[in-house]
Amino acid sequence: MTLDWLLQHLFNGMTLNMFLQHLLNGISLGSLYALIAIGYTMVYGILRLINFAHGDIFMTATYFAFFGVVTFGMPWYVAFPIVLVMTGLLGMLVEAAAYRPLRDAPKISILISSIGASFLLENLATVIFGGVPRPFPTPEIFTGVVTLGNGLMVQKLIFYIPAVTLVFLVALLYLINKTKTGMAMRAVSKDHETAKVMGINVNRTISLTFGIGSMLAAVGGIMWGMKYPQIAPLMGVIPGLKCFIAAVIGGIGDIKGAVLGGFILGIGEIMLVAFLPNLTGYRDAFAFVLLIVILLCKPTGIVGEKIAEKV
């Protein structure tokens, strides 16, 4: 096979199977990035705010899952839905406590408040959950490997992650584009004042947006915990920053853009390590380099529209 031959000769002995493995890995990492990036993009869309606490909400979700399964001994199918709800409520709490009182304040104040909320969550987690990393209790059903036709062996999780992501993504797009609540969210993201005139409860709509974004971060967090089964209070920082970058790459404020950005970042990162193993140490830097390139070449992101300020 030509592709096989090319891979082998150009990239010191990589086989097609290895390439496929990397690709699948990249897709599942990209799915996780996409789920978290959606939270950034939704909040930005409705408040023009970068919610720096989002990565820490993601981290807290993994602890909720840990306590649900390990401490309270709940089966995963009971614990995980509860984790989603609690993480959603946490997101709404952060909004009500840190952002709502600053609704009419300058944007920079809210941004600083979000950095404060992020530090608060990280330190609270360190105090309450302890700084020592804990093993994530992956339910047995999600473990194991499958062997594909051509002898390619992959974790089952590699397939579960994109599938679950797809389900939640479809549900989210349905909610936003087809329901009255979604219509209100889109209206508020365009114009708070006119939305109020229409009788829309703007505060409740914003709160709901935080709740949904946080729930998706919880979905991402649970699956992240299964893929990289060690959780710690600062585990949300780097994924948080990367997913923020993913949202910017795609075009912040746009959900499809966040998904696209997540996949570009996830697949790109894995491929970088796969094809250029010498650069493995620069894996995290890849995201930031990509951010700089995007900001220089197309600041509105790949699918981003020009932000025409309201007149």
Q: What is the closest distance, in whole angstroms, from the C-beta atom of residue 17 to another protein in the complex?
A: 45
Q: Mask 122-161, x = binds another protein (CB under 8 A)?
A: ----------------------------------------
Closer CB to another protein, 45 or 262, in the complex: 45
- Determine the size of the site formed for another protein (CB under 8 A): 18
Q: What is the closest distance, in whole angstroms, from the C-beta atom of residue 198 to another protein in the complex?
A: 5
Q: What is the closest distance, in whole angstroms, from the C-beta atom of residue 142 to another protein in the complex?
A: 38
Q: What is the closest distance, in whole angstroms, from the C-beta atom of residue 149 to another protein in the complex?
A: 45
Site for another protein in 56-115 (CB under 8 A): none
Site for another protein in 226-255 (CB under 8 A): none
Q: What is the closest distance, in whole angstroms, from the C-beta atom of residue 219 to another protein in the complex?
A: 26
Closer CB to another protein, 144 or 306, in the complex: 306
Q: What is the closest distance, in whole angstroms, from the C-beta atom of residue 43 to another protein in the complex?
A: 17
For residue 23, count other CB atoms closer than 10 A to its CB.
14
Does the protein bind another protein through residue 283 (CB under 8 A)? no
Q: What is the closest distance, in whole angstroms, from the C-beta atom of residue 202 to another protein in the complex?
A: 7
Closer CB to another protein, 220 or 257, in the complex: 257
How far CA 65 is from CA of 3, 68, 75, 117, in Å, comes to 42, 5, 11, 21
Q: How many residues does the chain have?
A: 311
Closer CB to another protein, 297 or 311, in the complex: 311
Q: Which two tokens stand for residue 149?
A: 């036709």
Closer CB to another protein, 38 or 243, in the complex: 38
Buried b (16+ CB within 10 A) or exposed e, 290-302: bbeebeeeeebbb
Q: Mask 167-206, x = binds another protein (CB under 8 A)?
A: -------------x--xx-xx-xxx-xx-xxxxxxx----
Closer CB to another protein, 126 or 181, in the complex: 181
How many Å apart are CA 101 and CA 177, to the nearest integer?
Answer: 29
Q: What is the closest distance, in whole angstroms, from the C-beta atom of residue 104 to another protein in the complex?
A: 12
Closer CB to another protein, 202 or 247, in the complex: 202
Q: Which two tokens stand for residue 265?
A: 């970042």
The residue with tokens 């939704």 is 42
Closer CB to another protein, 232 or 252, in the complex: 252
Q: What is the closest distance, in whole angstroms, from the C-beta atom of residue 206 to another protein in the complex?
A: 13
Closer CB to another protein, 138 or 189, in the complex: 189
**Footprint on this chain of another protein (rule: CB under 8 A):** 180, 183-184, 186-187, 189-191, 193-194, 196-202, 311
